[in-house]
Structures are given as structure tokens and as C-alpha cells.
Amino acid sequence: MAPKIPNVFFKNGASVPVLGLGTWNSPPGQVTQAVQDAISVGYRHIDCAHVYENEHEVGAGIAAKIAQGIVKREDLFVTSKLWNTYHRPDLVKGALQVTLRNLNLKYLDLYLIHWPQAYREGDELFPLRPDGKRVHFSDVDYVNTWPAMERLVDAGLVRNIGLSNFNVNQVQRILDVANIAPATNQIECHPYLQQEQLREFCQEQGITITAYSPLGSPARPWVKQDDPVLMDDPVVKKLAKKHSKSPAQILIRYQIQLDNLVIPKSVSKQRIASNADVFEFELGVDDMLRLAALERGGRICPESF
């Protein structure tokens, strides 16, 4: 049984478990079980997105655990994301309603604008130009999308709203128009890409950072044979040995001590449990500095278009 996962607070006072289960790139047919396993070992925070194309499986996992009486809906913190083809303000509510139907939920705890780029509106997730290589962008500005996100909060469909993959300038543009400030900015964050300037800016603004790919996303579809593997890094392995922990546990603990929310992904029950076993040890100041020194600007999840 994993230890109890503590909650932290957004600037608006909303409570959120510091550790969640990521579901990006989880193989179809395995997500429902992964969600059930995560809830069984104590996770209460589940991160999903329309573009992952597995929200119906996430919803089935949640429904099963609610039906078993293991959790109530209000015990859970469920996040999803508005995809790039739905930035036009009149499409935002419909996009959320599709997500709610897939998840079989009446509201979300957190809804994020997934990327600051808008794609041509329609049912294709990646609408390509005739050359088949470049995506068709839309000219919708995310600054105009934000008030539609705020209306979801007003309607009681979403408890909190936020951003994902936004840089300093893009976050500032939202803050300039926001009646409801973004609760979080979900970004790629790990020792090879620390995003220090962006993290500091968000912290100054009272925006919590959520770290995705904290383990370096070793199973990403576009990984190359000679790409560095974060969990095999000698510094990470040395710290794992020092603390009698796995490299993954060191990397998750690192994010927590940076005051970030963290959402590692796994479909293995053993690893899901192990990833949550990070609350009974602490990295020392020297450990933190050694991990910080691994910075190499290594972005794993570029928005390639």
C-alpha cells in the first residue's frame, strides 16, 4: 500500500494531490486497469486529455472504482485539456462536453488549454496542409479562448482552469485579460529540461507548475536510439543508490521538492505504487544541486509543428 499522497493548494484555495497519474501514451486496452490500480494504491489525481484518445478508458476505470465504493467522485481530482482544434470560443464548451461524456463525469476539477497554438477547426486532431507535412493553423488567438474557459467555471462544469505548454510571454498575455487567473501551467519538466525562468515567473504570479514527463518519457513514440536516457544518468543512479530508491522515485521526489505537482505515467501496477512511495525520504541540498546541474535544454515533447 503506497503512503497517503498529500494535497497542496492552488492560489485560489483549491486543494489538489501533489502526485497524479499521467495517461499520455498509455497503450489502449491498458488504461482502464492502470486507473483502477492507481486509485487502489491511493492516487486521487488523474491527468487526461482529449488528444490522448483514451478518455473513455480513463472514465471506465474511475466508474469501476466509484461503483466498488472505493472512492466517491468528490475524492478525485480529474484534469483534462482543450485540444488545439477547439480554440474558437464557440467550440470550447462543446469540446468540454465531449470530454465529460467520455469520462462519464458531470464536471472536471481542472481544464487546461493544451497548447498555445490553434489548429484549423474540425474533427481531425492534426489537420494537415496538402503537402501532408505541415499542420493547418487557425488564426484564433488563445487570449480570446480564455474567456470561454472562464465561462465553464461560471457554469459549474469546471472547478479550475489553467494552461499547458505556455511560455512566459504567453502566460503574461493570459494574465492581462483574465478575470480568473490560471491555476497551473503544465509543462515538461525534468533534470534535462528544468525551465527555471518559466517556473520562477509562474511562482511569482501564484501559478502552480505541473511537471509532465518527469522521468524523461523513455517510451515516447519518437525516441531515437542515441537519445540520452534520464533514468540511466549516472547522477540519478548514484542518488538512487544513496537513498535506496529507484531512479524514478528520485526524479519524482525532485519535482515535489521544487514545489511542482508531478504526473508520472505508468500502466504497471508495481511501478504506479512505487512512483507514489516518495513521501518518506528527502533529497538533501547537495542532491538537489546535483540534479539541477544536469540541465541540457533537452526538450522531449516539442510542438513539432
Residue type, 133: K
- Find the mean pLDDT for residues 54-74: 97
pLDDT at residue 2, rounded to an integer: 56
Per-residue confidence (pLDDT) for residue 261, from 0 to 100: 98
How do residues 148-190 score in pLDDT, each as one tens digit? Answer: 999 999 999 999 999 999 999 999 999 999 999 999 999 999 9
191 vs 250: CA distance, rounded Å: 11
For residues 209-238, average pLDDT: 89
Binding site members for substrate: 114
pLDDT at residue 283 is higher than 60: yes
**Candidate list 52, 119, 212, 254, residue with the active-site label:** 52
7-293 homologous superfamily: NADP-dependent oxidoreductase domain (3.20.20.100)
pLDDT band at 304; cut points 50, 70, 90:
low
Outline where the chain has alpha helix (H): 31-40, 55-67, 89-103, 142-154, 168-177, 196-204, 234-243, 247-257, 269-275, 285-292
The residue-averaged pLDDT of 209-220 equals 89
Mean pLDDT of the chain: 95
Q: Give the C-alpha separation, 170 to 175, whole Å.
A: 9
Element (H, E) at 78: strand 77-82
d(CA 141, CA 75): 35
Binding positions are 114
* Average pLDDT of span 195-211: 98
Which three cell numbers, joined as nine digits, stand for 169? 510571454
Residue 41's nearest CA partner among 277, 273, 274 is: 273
- Residue 48 carries which side chain, given as an amino acid letter? C
**Domain coordinates in residue numbering, the chain:** 7-293
111 is catalytic: no
- pLDDT band at residue 305 using 50, 70 and 90 as cut-offs: low
Task: Give the confidence band of 226 by pLDDT, cuts at 50, 70, 90.
Answer: confident
In the predicted model, what is the mean pLDDT of residues 64-77?
Answer: 98
Using a pLDDT cut of 90, give the percent of the chain over it: 89
With 0-12 / 13-18 / 19 or more C-beta atoms within 10 angstroms meaning exposed / middle / buried, residue 208 is buried
What percentage of residues in the chain have a pLDDT greater than 70? 98
Q: Is the pLDDT of residue 251 over 70?
A: yes
Residue 172, pLDDT score: 98
From 57, 93, 51, 100, select the one nearest 78 (Cα to Cα): 100
The per-residue pLDDT for 220 is: 77
Set of cell numbers at residue 283 = 533529497
pLDDT, mean of residues 211-233: 86
Q: Does position 221 have pLDDT exceeding 90, yes or no?
A: no
Cα 25–chain centre separation: 12
